[in-house]
Structure 1
Amino acid sequence: MTSSHGRGLLHLAAAIDQEAAYDVGSYVESARLAERGGLDFVTLGDTFTRPGPDALAVLSGVAPATDRIGLVPTVTTTHTEPFHVQAAVATLDWVSRGRAGWRIDVSTTEGEARLFGRRHAAPADELWREAGEVADVAAQLWDSWEDDAEIRDLATGRFIDRDKLHYVDFTGSAFSVKGPSIVPRPPQGHPVRVADATEGHARRTAARYADVVLVRASSAAQAAAVREQLRGSAQEFGRDPDSLRVFASLLVDLGDGEHAAEPGHGGGGPRQTVQGPLYRGGPVDLAELIATWHTNGIVDGFHLTPTEPRRDLERLVNGTVALLQHRGLFRTFYPGSTLREHLGLARPANQYAVTGGAS
């Protein structure tokens, strides 16, 4: 598959958050629309302070109603049990047949801490260090079953080859996990890990563990600088920087139909607002902005959050994406079936099977 750095494949993703929507049908509708446009994945946010359904559970319901699009819920690593988190994400990968991602986040407020009563709020840099440990142990637990650990031999009654199950025995700063997982190795090996690295605290964790990094940047120069920093850090951690996908994260308001973008929103880039970088204008100028940033190697893709979910996602798919497809800049069909394939990322080798780690 073509390398996706520089001027390779363009990647697109969209948020399908809807305020206080409890009907899974509305999320299915949005995910299907994004899938019709060939988007790599959709995200669904979640926090302990937001009223609304559990993002991971909602996307597990969306999975059987979609075929190709990646499904990426936010699951915080603060106040949650790493063993449960990895098992839930692995289950989403099985339910979706290899289309799961996991947007890693932390919970920084005292109000969120009080919901659990186990500990007080901690500084962001400490929580992101912990998030890195959770990402690390999750990968080890996903690998704790080798791909062919299941035998399912009815004649002998053997379900598992015990030699192909591995104990993890991980001790982090705030938790310890033995393993093995209760869920067999996911179809993708490791579901795709996504992190927002706009804030400096998250950057080292994102560079070390994330497959996709989101950056809320209001200028091409800012996005390019963060991408370069992330790629450099990834290399320091022994990773191939070309295995990192850096997406510009933008709010999009396409309510102006075909009108040109407002000054400061169009070709010159989005405008910084309290909510984050915002593009306001028509689908045509948004396509131009995306094409320009990607062609110039500023970012590998875009994560777009509609300000008006139904209206803007429809205009995004039928307008902006259609224009990018027409120009040959974005796919018209999915060449593969897993989220890793959409992103041009290899399926990771099992660390235990490769090294013959002690079981």
Structure 2
Amino acid sequence: MPDRITLVTALQGAGWHPAAWRVAGPVAQRLSSLRHWRDVVVEQDRLGIDAVTIEDSFTAGPTAADHDLDTTTVVGRLDALLVANAVAPATRAVGLVPTVSVTHTEPFHVATGLQTLDHVSLGRAGWRIQVSPTTREAALFGRRPGGDDAATLFDEAREAAEVVSRLWDSWDDDAIIRDVTTGRFIDRDRIHNAEYAGRHLSVHGASIVPRSPQGRPPVFALAHRADAAAFAVDAADVVLVTPGYQGREARELLDEVRHLEQVAGSDVRRPVLADLAVLIGSSSAAAADELAALDGAAGSAYAGASDTSVLATTVPELVSLIGDLRGLGFAGVRLRPLRIPLDSTAIARQLVPALVTAGLRADVASRPTADLRTRLGIAPAVSRYARPSVTGAGVGSVSSEVSA
């Protein structure tokens, strides 16, 4: 676990509250523009946020009771992976973690898209893995009836995560040799087929993208219920839990993750982040009033439709909570701003310096600019295929393929 608190901001449209677009001002006019995403992410990067996650789904927006789109909230979204690639050149240190579903997406496309992001961002890519359970989403693809039970979806997602990982490993770090004398651009013995045959997926072959700076971008997974937590421990490097949601306590959730790691026989203690939706006000009363106004505009309390607890809070209160979570053993927090840019700006401009003052964060000037795995305290990714060089051997000493 890093010696300072990890701080991640979860970005979604005008914010996580369904009525946020009504108070977003000019931002609401450009939610589908690159300018909106670049402005928000650049601010998070400049002021010291470790990573941003970018939400995505195969639905254009929330659905109403009749399963039609809810026209009272933001409808329409840009592809999260493409947005991350577009804003990467404008940022310096922040991790870029798009949400990419594996339910209807081929693992090959997931792997190569995220490898490309890792190259473009110089080692700052991550992946929030997600399943897509609804018949509405399945109907867009027409290859399966949809409505699969959760166990089936998570089993398929485990296989997809494994295939993606094998494809990420399929090129050795030094597979490209550019040997002008012999006319060889690559050493074929350093590219390995990702052999996999499972219940849901069967893949043979290598990625078309050379191994990226991190080797394997860190995988994030939301563990807001028991089956999702078991999947996260199996497939993810970073686990997101939701204290307060459905009465679950932070210590209970952290203990559950550690127990699942033991059951899985894992000797790795994954960074666990507390996932919280926040509205930050100038006082507790002001924050409560602002949340009530949003809920009134939406016609219902947001907490009823969320998969995490919702906090109307102040910066000092949030610093205290984060300190308590740190004391329990959490590596950090992922904060979902209910309003963008109001709450995302407060996280970057007010919360970050307050955490520095509290001794929970280093000053932004001393923030490491290493790859995202390093910043999260995750060990470097060693390819399952590459063998150590033989002592005394020359160029080309890396062995050929190890059995998958």
Q: Report the TM-score when normalising by structure 1.
A: 0.90
Q: 126, 130, 134: which is aligned to 1:109?
A: 134
Q: CA deviation at 1:208?
A: 1.6
Partner of 2:176: 150
Give the secondary-structure state (helix, strand or coil) at the position aligned to 1:309.
coil
- In structure 2, give the amino acid aligned to 1:229: E
Q: 301, 305, 326: which is aligned to 2:336?
A: 305
- In structure 2, give the amino acid aligned to 1:172: G
Correspondence list, 1:231-246, <5 A: 231-242=258-269, 244-246=270-272
Q: 178, 181, 184: which is aligned to 2:204?
A: 178
Query: Does 2:325 correspond to 1:293?
Result: yes
- In structure 2, give the amino acid aligned to 1:320: L
Query: Does 2:300 correspond to 1:274?
Result: no
Using the TM superposition, name which of 320-329 and 106-115 deviates more: 320-329
Using the TM superposition, name which of 301-310 and 326-335 deviates more: 326-335
- In structure 1, give the amino acid aligned to 2:115: A
Q: CA deviation at 1:47?
A: 0.5
Q: CA deviation at 1:61?
A: 0.4
Q: CA deviation at 1:258?
A: 3.6
Q: CA deviation at 1:29?
A: 1.3
- In structure 2, give the amino acid aligned to 1:15: A
CA displacement, residues 64-118 of structure 1 (integer Å, 9 cap, x when unaligned): 0001100000000011111111111111111101000000000101111110000
Whether the 8 Å contact between 2:13 and 2:77 is mirrored in structure 1 is no
Query: Does 2:380 correspond to 1:335?
Result: no
Looking at structure 2, the residues matched to 296 and 128 of structure 1 have their Cα atoms a distance apart, in angstroms, of 29
Correspondence list, 1:69-108, <5 A: 69-108=94-133
Query: Does 2:64 correspond to 1:40?
Result: no
Query: Does 2:345 correspond to 1:314?
Result: yes
Q: CA deviation at 1:159?
A: 1.3
Q: CA deviation at 1:312?
A: 0.5
Correspondence list, 1:111-150, <5 A: 111-121=136-146, 122-150=148-176
Correspondence list, 1:230-269, <5 A: 230-242=257-269, 244-254=270-280, 256-259=281-284
- In structure 2, give the amino acid aligned to 1:285: E
- In structure 2, give the amino acid aligned to 1:49: T
- In structure 2, give the amino acid aligned to 1:240: D
Whether the 8 Å contact between 1:231 and 1:241 is mirrored in structure 2 is no
Alpha carbon RMSD of aligned pairs, Å? 2.1
Query: Does 2:305 correspond to 1:284?
Result: no
Looking at structure 2, the residues matched to 324 and 285 of structure 1 have their Cα atoms a distance apart, in angstroms, of 11
- In structure 2, give the amino acid aligned to 1:52: R
Give the secondary-structure state (helix, strand or coil) at the position aligned to 1:72.
strand
Q: 27, 33, 39: which is aligned to 1:23?
A: 33
Q: CA deviation at 1:273?
A: 4.2
Gapped regions of structure 2 (runs ≥ 5): 15-29, 61-75, 292-301, 389-400
Query: Does 2:366 correspond to 1:344?
Result: no
Query: Does 2:250 correspond to 1:218?
Result: no
Q: Report the TM-score when normalising by structure 2.
A: 0.81
Looking at structure 1, the residues matched to 362 and 52 of structure 2 have their Cα atoms a distance apart, in angstroms, of 16
Q: CA deviation at 1:282?
A: 1.6
If you compute each CA radius of gyration, which structure gives the higher value, 1 or 2?
Answer: 2
Using the TM superposition, name which of 65-74 and 146-155 deviates more: 146-155
Whether the 8 Å contact between 1:166 and 1:358 is mirrored in structure 2 is no
Give the secondary-structure state (helix, strand or coil) at the position aligned to 1:253.
strand
| Aligned length, in residue pairs | 345
- In structure 2, give the amino acid aligned to 1:302: V
Q: CA deviation at 1:334?
A: 2.2
